Structure 1
């Protein structure tokens, strides 16, 4: 399925106190290629192959379902390290903050992502006070680059 991803990404210095009260997904993902981005992901018990175009705030994205067997086969072929994280889903007005708490490769790293329906909406977004630095324009915080650490 083809779509466009319009998102902003922020470092988060400390998790909100009530973090355990929010729903979450356990995610594991690896990269078959980082240019272009071709990724495999297990989210809970669902499996995907994803292609992402170049870009920072706006990128084209294709998601294809995988079987567990296909995922496990491809996992042996990843380039770099497997990323493991817990993604919390936190309501914020009309948005859902996806707060990723990494267990590998950067244990304890907290990154928040917020998706938007337009570039204008993304540019006018006011983040909550507990967000830190806006790293949307830094490719260092793309998961594909974190997998190389």
Structure 2
């Protein structure tokens, strides 16, 4: 057992973009202080006018996660440390018929042809029992190539392999 906060999440590619009319969204830019090979992930995120510093550990379905709010000035002071390891996206937060919520990301920049959707769960059993809606595509939860810290350093050639 751990006393660290856990994130239990599944991630999917999109098969079909759902109707997002009226679904709240935020513009996100995030950068990684750590490299994609590091076992611990130290991330800066700006979501509209909110700023966060996060640390994540582990792999797969269940990971540890701690996040703290920081000021815009703190974010901007640390942001240069993420040069070459950044992701920009629009995140839509919506609801699913089973009561879960989803985070649908439409990436920008080099990743502009990529769209993913994530669903968080209260337990591993709930995550494993989840039946995705028709518009979800391939489950990439366990594929390290689709973690945002890996996507932050993807070039257009590698992106073509991921979205091909």
Task: Summarize the alignment of residues 92-131 of structure 1 with structure 2, pairs less than 5 Å apart.
Answer: 92=96, 93-131=98-136
The residue correspondences of 1:3-18 to structure 2 (distance < 5 A) are 3-16=5-18, 18=19
Gaps of 5+ in 1: none
Q: Number of matched residues?
A: 147
Once the two structures are TM-superposed, the CA of residue 14 in structure 1 deviates from its matched residue by 3.0
Q: Deviations over 1:100-146 (max 9, x none)?
A: 00013311311000000000000000000011100011010000000
**Structure 1 residue 10: deviation in Å?**
0.2
Deviation at 1:90, TM superposition (A): 1.6
Residue equivalent to 1:30? 31
| C-alpha distance in structure 1 between counterparts of 2:5 and 2:115, whole Å | 26
The Cα shift of 1:21 comes to 2.3
TM-score, length-scaled by structure 1: 0.94
Which residues of structure 2 form unaligned runs of 5+? 155-164
Shift of 1:84: 0.7
- The equivalences for 1:1-149 within 5 A come to 3-16=5-18, 18-34=19-35, 35=38, 36-92=40-96, 93-149=98-154
Q: Secondary structure at the match of 1:60?
A: strand
Inter-partner Cα distance in structure 2 for 1:139 and 1:79: 21
Partners of 1:73 and 1:89 in 2: CA distance: 29
Q: Normalized against structure 2, the TM-score is what?
A: 0.85
CA contact (8 A) 1:14 1:110 kept: no
In 2, Cα distance between the equivalents of 1:105 and 1:68? 25
**Following TM superposition, by how much is the alpha carbon of 1:79 offset from its aligned partner in structure 2, in angstroms?**
4.9
Aligned to 2:157: none
Provide the rounded CA distance (Å) in 1 between the counterparts of 2:61 and 2:135. 21
